[in-house]
Amino acid sequence: MLGKSSRPHLLVLLLLSFSALFASFSNAYPLSTQNRWIIDDATGQRAKLVCANWAGHLQLMIPEGLDKQPLKDIVGQVVKNNFNCVRLTYAIYMWTRYGDKENLALSLFKLDLPKVMDGIAKYNPEVLAMTPIQVFEHVIKELGAQKVMVLLDNHVSEPKWCCDDDDENGFFGDRHFDAGEWIDGLTSAAQHFKGNPAVVAMSLRNELHGPRQNEGDWYTHISKAATEIHKENPNVLVVVSGLNYDTELQFLKKKPLKVNLGNKLVFETHLYAWSGIGTLKLREIWNKQPLNRICAHSIEGIDERAGFLTMGKKAYPLIFTEFGFDQTQGTSDNVHNRFVSCLQTYLVGRDLDWGMWALQGGYYLREDQVSLEETFGILDANFSQLRYPQFADKFQLLQRKNQDPSSKLPYQSIMYHPQSGQCVQVNAKDELELGNCETKNRWVHDGKGGQVLLSGTNKCLHAAGEGKPALVTGDCKSKKSFWKPMSLTKLHLANMGHHGEHLCLQKDSNTTSIVTAKCICITDDSACLDNPQSQWFQLVPTNV
């Protein structure tokens, strides 16, 4: 027992500890919704969630990589690479069956994972004595300490890799998806992290799927679960997924989800290169159809099945919580590269919140394989550096907040090149080149076929001729200074001032310079399978 003389010192220590904790979390919690935006309650400004998915739902039921690097360093990689959020996945059975039964060391022994045990003992020995729930607490504490927001995602019920149509883990009534136990697990997680300012959102379920899917059960169980989470923890955003691996929410057009969550309801959607959107199966056609066609049709499909939620007077935030690509492929022309560049134009154009699959460079144990590498991993197999060296350039504009409903600034445009991820700058010679997207160059264009004006000047975009550098000039009445977005994607910025022939902006293949060249596949011709991405330039709206 402390004596009287110790009490003042104890009070000082408690006050200091409270002040430090408040300082750590005073910048972004809690969050709420305002029409299609997520808002920081403390500032009234938009809080754009830029998340890395961190898997913790597999057999060990702990976040991956603790056998490769110290926890502090893994979270440091999240921050270093400009993510402000982690979508942290977990299994329902962690809360309802296994999560407080045995410590990690015993689980590792039972699963016969001596190398994983040795790695954790080297880098994070303190977690060996913890249960899975305690490891989650430990990880979330470090995320919060480094000011990383957490979206807790219920990924599965039975801890395992997700997902297959026949995994009995996909929809209400499946062998591993009892609706009552699911809600018990959700409310336990909500209660457990109530008051923890790092946990800003909770999703109900990842990628509902399988033959039992139906809209009636979706409305019944989703409404009940969302209400229970909100009752248990009214501060968190409640994130709702749709059907068919979270690609379909279009049924909400005819029957909205009626739940009273105040300003805490958010929806989510997913897409990969192999996904199907309704009857549109994407896996086989990214290289077999004209890219402008498949990209335009894919974007139309996203809007039809989920994007519509962000439109109109009764809009909601939509988080693109999962997309990804094979990061070992670099910039080579393949299905993943074509898919992700197309999707970037959608995410940037609407300035959506998003989450990339995945942070982890590998797994302790996945589908009976030990230390399996994750080629979609942002980090390498050692969790020490980026797997894809151009990651920072490729995703810089997606990570930037480009629109804010609280801003008083007028909307202008950033000229964006999705293939490289870079943005257009004007150099000292008045020529266009690609560079960092923090450039202050802004553009004004009516989108119909007029001049593209360099904001704050009397200059406009000008096409000097085929193969010549694109530039800005004061000669804004010339036909060479009139531009129109063309092709099905509207991503080709084309000029018709040269003997009736279209010239498009194009990134030079060997430098950062931008030239004008004959347009590639701007008509919808099934025989034109050339890759037009070097000519994709998007005028991205911004008011920040």
DSSP state at residue 427: -
d(CA 337, CA 287): 10
Give 464: exposed, middle or buried? Use CB within 10 Å, 0-12, 13-18, 19+: middle
CA-atom Rg of the chain in angstroms: 25
List Cβ neighbours of 22 (8 Å cut-off, separation of 6 or more): none
Give, for all 544 residues of the chain, the pLDDT tens digit: 333 333 333 333 333 333 333 333 334 679 999 999 999 999 999 999 999 999 999 999 999 999 999 999 999 999 999 999 999 999 999 999 998 999 999 999 999 999 999 999 999 999 999 999 999 999 999 999 999 999 999 999 999 999 889 999 999 999 999 999 999 999 999 999 999 999 999 999 999 999 999 999 999 999 999 999 999 999 999 999 999 999 999 999 999 999 999 999 999 999 999 886 544 556 668 888 999 999 999 999 999 999 999 999 999 999 999 999 999 876 577 888 999 999 999 999 999 999 999 999 999 999 999 999 999 999 999 999 999 999 999 999 999 999 999 999 999 999 999 999 999 999 999 999 999 999 889 999 987 889 999 999 999 999 999 999 999 999 999 999 999 999 999 999 999 876 668 999 999 999 999 999 999 999 999 999 999 999 999 999 999 9
Instruction: Write down the H helix ranges in 380-505.
Output: 391-394, 396-399
- Answer yes or no: are the C-beta atoms of 103 and 126 closer than 8 Å: no
pTM, to two decimals: 0.92
Mapped to the 3 state alphabet, what secondary structure does 136-148 carry? HHHHHHHHHHCCC
Q: Answer left, alpha or beta for residue 162, where phi above 0 means left and psi between -120 and 50 means alpha.
A: beta
d(CA 88, CA 140): 9
- Answer yes or no: are the C-beta atoms of 515 and 508 closer than 8 Å: yes
Q: How do strand 453-454 and strand 276-277 relate by DSSP bridges?
A: unpaired
String of DSSP letters for 292-336: HHHHHHHHHHHHHHTGGGGSSTT---EEEEEE---TTSTT-SSHH
